[in-house]
Amino acid sequence: MNTNCPLCSTDGGELIWKNEAMRVILAAEPEYPGFCRVIWNNHVSEMTGLAIADRSRLMQTVMKVEQAIIEVMQPDKVNLAALGNMVPHLHWHVIPRYEEDLAFPGSVWSAPQRDRDEQHVAQQLAKVPALKKKIQDMLGAN
């Protein structure tokens, strides 16, 4: 544990699911409903810091979250990212993307390309409770 790391000291968002190795949270990103993060519980900064079996286990979880997002949120695309430049604690971003979102086709961290589409955001936000349940169902008991 690193006491200076926000992902060691907090869940990092709304906790959806957790086991002894990792957790899935809903990110506080109001422009991007359904934006999830899969976070390794122990403080590790790189994938190569994990045993090979743990790498596989983490990626299987990322893929299940991606599948849940595809099934429930019905995005035009899903973005996966493991940057860690700002928070060097191993985590994967799993982000539903739509042609209507602010920055599409750029990354969610890119400059906005258009104004916020209130109706689109509201429609996607309404799907989030079903997404949380789908992720919990797919990943099983904590």
Residues above pLDDT 90, as percent of the chain: 87
Which whole number is the average pLDDT over 18-40? 96
Most distant CA atoms of the chain, gap in Å: 44
Domains of the chain in start order, with CATH, are 6-139 (3.30.428.10)
| Among 138, 140, 142, residue whose Cα is nearest residue 19 | 142
The mean per-residue pLDDT over the stretch 86-95 comes to 93
What average pLDDT does range 115-136 have in this prediction? 97
Return the pLDDT at 142.
59
Is the pLDDT confidence value at 36 over 90? yes
Residue 34 DSSP class: T
- pLDDT tens digits, residue range 54-87? 999 999 999 999 999 999 999 999 999 998 888 8
The one-character DSSP state at 40 is E
Q: Which two tokens stand for residue 55?
A: 């790498």
pLDDT tens digits for 95-111? 999 999 999 999 999 99
